[in-house]
Structures are given as structure tokens and as C-alpha cells.
Structure 1
Amino acid sequence: MPFFHLSAEEREQLLQLRAEKPARRPKAIQTDTGQRIADLVARTVGSWRFIVIQSALLVVWIALNVTGYVLQWDPYPFILLNLALSFQAAYTAPIIMMSQNRQSEIDRAHAEFDYRVNVKAELEIEALHAKLDALREQEILKMMGIIERLSEHLAVHQPQESPAPDPAPGWSVMRPED
């Protein structure tokens, strides 16, 4: 199949992309157990449900310790509460970062996939335009040949000088006066 206006590099790339069929589906990225756990933690901590539950627990913790309804296991400066929240933040932040890094890898893979599909589409469209241009050129050449043959045919079969026909018999043609 000819590629009319494509460079050698573009032709090679198009043939490679056609063989790969990149428009089908991006490759699935393999995940291990740690990555799945990181995604689960990031999904959980990044949800409104988590925020509402944690806020409710904090309010209950503070209320119970301020009122002294139960033994005040964590009096006013709430040192134990601060320790628990610091512990949670210290472990949650790196886990969320792991999940974000993996999501970045997925996004890069999808961007690469989209790029390859777009390049293939661009090259295919360029090849189609070249084919259409070639077909149009052939059609124009054929029509020019037909017109030349008709002109030759008319020149042979048409009398040389024929009087101009009267535009409308019975009517006079008005001419501007000099």
C-alpha cells in the first residue's frame, strides 16, 4: 500500500502502530498487595464518610474528657488525642503518597496510550488525504482526456462558419443608438 506524502520515519511508525493496534485498550498495570492496600487507604481517608466518622469520634472524645462523665483518661490538653492523630497522620501521609505515585504511573500510561492512538489517527488521516488527492488527480486527468476527445470530435463534425441564429424569430433586437 503506497504512502504518498509520509516520510520514511512516519511510514515505519504507522506500520508499527498498525501492527500493535493501540486503539484497542491500554495495557493493564500490575498491582501488588501493598499498592492495593495503599489505594484502599487513600480512597477511605479521602472520603466524606471518613471525615464525618473521625469528626464524630473527636467530638465524643473531647466531650467525654471535658465533662468527666467517664474517667478522664486524657485531660484538657488532650495529649493522648494529639498522639493518636499524629500517629494516624504519620502513617496515612506516606500511604497516600504511594497511592498518588501509582496513580501518576497509571495517568502516564494512559497519556502514552492516548498519544499513540492520536499519532496513528493522524498518520492514517494523512494517508487517506493523500489517497483522495491521488484519486482526484486521476479523475481530473481522465476528464481532461474526455474533454480533449470531445473537442476534437466537435472540431471535425462541426461546420466552420455558421451564421448566428436569430435569438427570437419575429422579435426585433433593440440596439443602442450611436
Structure 2
Amino acid sequence: MKTPDFISEENTHLEKFRKIVQDSIEAEELIVYNLLHPPIERLSEGQKISDKVAKFGGSWRFIIAFGVVLSLWIIFNALIVVKFRFDPYPFILMNLILSCIAALQAPIIMMSQNRQEEKDRMMNENDYLINLKAEMQIRSLHQKMDLLLEEQIKTLFESQKSQLDILKTISVKIAKM
């Protein structure tokens, strides 16, 4: 009579494990889908241009080329005969051009930085989903461990009860002697 109860308890125990695993799998499906299928990034022509300008404007090639052009401008307008100078010493035209470049380049670079922030935000969301998945797996392991401990404690109490019954039986036999 004890064997069918034992089989029934084992089946209940296995069913609890199966439910924990099934719940974990169902909860992770959406996370895995979002990680495997990120949204496709569609760029407009303006966004592509802003990325290229920001990439070039933040490179050593740009800094060196810009330095060379400014140096040539200053040398040409300072050393050439007065007749051929197009921007004499205070270099007002050069300052105007530099101001225009800065005024145009700054918003273009900011647009590119905003897009980079969006990419970073999406990467952070993916990191969060990965961490959430790991947390769910840990939680599932905790549930399994709790279930195992619960079964072990139950088995321990049952064995203690049977030991107490045996001790009572022995005690009664000794008392009858």
C-alpha cells in the first residue's frame, strides 16, 4: 500500500518540476524572440549624410586637412603680393567661413549623436532583456531547489516519525518485560 503512494508522490513531484520548466520556457520565448529579431534600422538620406559628416568631422584626417588648409590660407594671404591677396591680415573672410562651417557642422553632428543615443538605448534594452532572462533562469533554479528541499524535509520528517514509532514500540516491549 505504501508503494502506490510513493509513485503518486513522485508523479506529483515530477509534475511540479515540469510546470516550473514549462513556465520558464514560456516566459523566455518573448525575450529570446526580441533578442534574435531586433528592429531593422531604416535611415533617411539626411541621416546617412549626417553620419558621414560626423564620422569625417571627428577624424584625424579632418583635423589635419583643416589645419593644412588654414595654414596655406594664412601663408598665402600674409606673404603674397598685396595685389593677389583676397583676405588681408585680420582674415575676416576666413573667420566668416570658419563660423559658417561650425554653424553647419554642429547640428549635423548633433543629429548623428542623437541617432547614436537611440542605438545605445536599444543596446541597453537588449542588455536588460538578457539580464531579465538570466534572472528568470535563476528564479526557476531557486524554485526547483525549494521543491527539492521541501521533498527532502518531508522525507526526513517521515523517517523521524517512523523512528519514533519504532522507539515507542521498543519502549512498550521493554516496559512489558
Equivalent in 144, 147, 151 of residue 131 of structure 1: 144
| Aligned mates of 1:153, 1:31 — CA distance in 2 | 80
**Gaps spanning 5+ residues in structure 2: where?**
1-17
Which stretch shows the higher mean deviation, 85-94 or 63-72? Answer: 63-72
Scaled by the length of structure 2, what TM-score is found? 0.70
Query: What is the CA RMSD across the aligned residues, in angstroms?
Result: 3.0
Partner of 2:74: 62
* Paired residue type of 1:46: G
The aligned length equals: 153
Distance 1:105 1:42, change over 3 A: same
Q: Which amino acid aligns with 1:91?
A: L
Q: Which amino acid aligns with 1:51?
A: I
Which residue is equivalent to 2:107?
A: 94
| Residue-by-residue CA offset, 1:82-103 (whole Å, 9 max, x unaligned) | 2221221122111111101111
2:31–2:129: 8 Å Cα contact kept in structure 1?
Answer: no
Q: Is the 8 A contact 1:29 1:106 kept in 2?
A: no
Q: For residue 29 of structure 2, what is the aligned residue in structure 1? A: 18
Q: Which amino acid aligns with 1:27?
A: P
Cα gap change, 1:23 to 1:155, in 2 (>3 Å): farther
Q: Distance in 2 between matches of 1:143 and 1:16?
A: 34
Pairing 1:4-153 to 2, within 5 Å after superposition:
15-21=26-32, 22-24=34-36, 26-68=38-80, 71-150=84-163, 152=165
* Paired AA for residue 18 in structure 1: E
Moved more, 79-88 or 146-155: 146-155
Shift of 1:44: 0.8
Matched-pair identity in %: 40
Which entry has the higher C-alpha Rg, 1 or 2? 1
Higher helix content, 1 or 2: 2
Structure 1 stretches of 5 or more lacking a match?
4-10, 162-178
Cα distance in structure 2, aligned partners of 1:52 and 1:66: 21
Distance in 2, Cα, partners of 1:56 & 1:106: 35
Instruction: Report if the CA contact (8 A) 1:14-1:124 is conserved.
Output: no
With normalisation by structure 1, the TM-score equals: 0.70
Offset at residue 16 of structure 1 (A): 5.0
Shift of 1:150: 4.9
Residues 61 and 116 from structure 1, CA distance in 2 versus in 1: closer, same or farther, beyond 3 angstroms?
A: same
Shift in CA distance, 160/28, structure 1 to aligned 2, threshold 3 Å? farther
